[in-house]
Amino acid sequence: MTQHQTPHDIASLDAELAGLPLAGRLSLAASLGRAVFTTSLGIEDQVITAAIGTHRLPIEVVTLETGRLFMETVCLIGATEERYGLLIRRFRPLEQDIDAYAARYGLNGFYESVEARHACCHVRKLKPLAAALAGADIWITGLRRGQSGNRAATPFAEYDPERNLLKINPLADWDIETIRAHVAAEDIPINPMHDRGYPSIGCEPCTRAIKPGESERAGRWWWENDEKRECGLHVAEPAASSIIAPAH
């Protein structure tokens, strides 16, 4: 663990964050070291970006431009930068990694097996994420407890042993109704696809609208049976790194 990441410190930090408003949570996170916020441009991430921009907080904002995003998502990057006067750094997969994946599985091979889908997420998300977080002390995310059963116990602060940094989830206790009310009150730009039944938006081939009664993330990788399916950004997938040989 790094200097401020003992179990006792994390428990104390978690409790302190719980008592603060969003801007206070972000400000405290930024005071702990070099802070990087990874945004997928989803509705909760837009709330965080708006707070960073509005309060001029010293937090780097980055996104993983996977090459398979919806056009609505791509357009929202520029619109958000203009609205809040900040830079959203884009991190993209390496062309040689994409070629290696396609040679082994086919460009859309992720539909064929969980292994192939994890390999695609590894190339398009996990490797760019590693580049985005290089040298960071603090990783800020838009994780919320209400997003899925797999995220129901999301804390405000946790240690990420895989990346050896402190992970701050400032919206952990916000439900979707609170998010929507805040977006309306602050006139925060959001992806228009949210109004078309897409509460969670990832890559275009891997995202569908949800059906009535489904969880917020049910439209992600919908062809898989595991209800707790994730891409690996927030759940360690140690086997993924060996699926595609690293580029030289």
Transcribe 50-83 into DSSP letters: HHHHHTT-SEEEEEE--S-B-HHHHHHHHHHHHH
Residue 2 lies in a domain: no
Q: Residue 188 is part of a domain; what is its CATH number?
A: 3.40.50.620
In a domain, 17, yes or no: yes
pLDDT in tens, 8-53: 699 999 999 999 999 999 999 999 999 999 999 999 999 999 999 9
pLDDT digits (tens, 9 = 90+) for 209-229: 999 988 888 898 888 876 545
Among candidate residues 120, 121, 203, 231, the one labeled active-site is 231
- Residue closest to 25 by CA, chosen among 34, 33, 16: 16
CA 68, CA 75: separation in Å to the nearest integer? 13
Specify if 242 maps to a domain: no
List the domain range (segments joined by +) for residue 229: 7-236
Residue with the bigger pLDDT between 181 and 226: it is 181
Q: What is the 3-state secondary structure (H, E, C) of 212-233?
A: CCCCCCCCECCCCCCCCCCCCC
pLDDT-derived band at 7, boundaries 50, 70, 90: low
- pTM for the predicted model, two decimal places: 0.86
Average pLDDT score over residue span 97-117? 95
Nearest partner of 170 among 32, 7, 8, judged by Cα = 32
**Active site includes 121?**
no
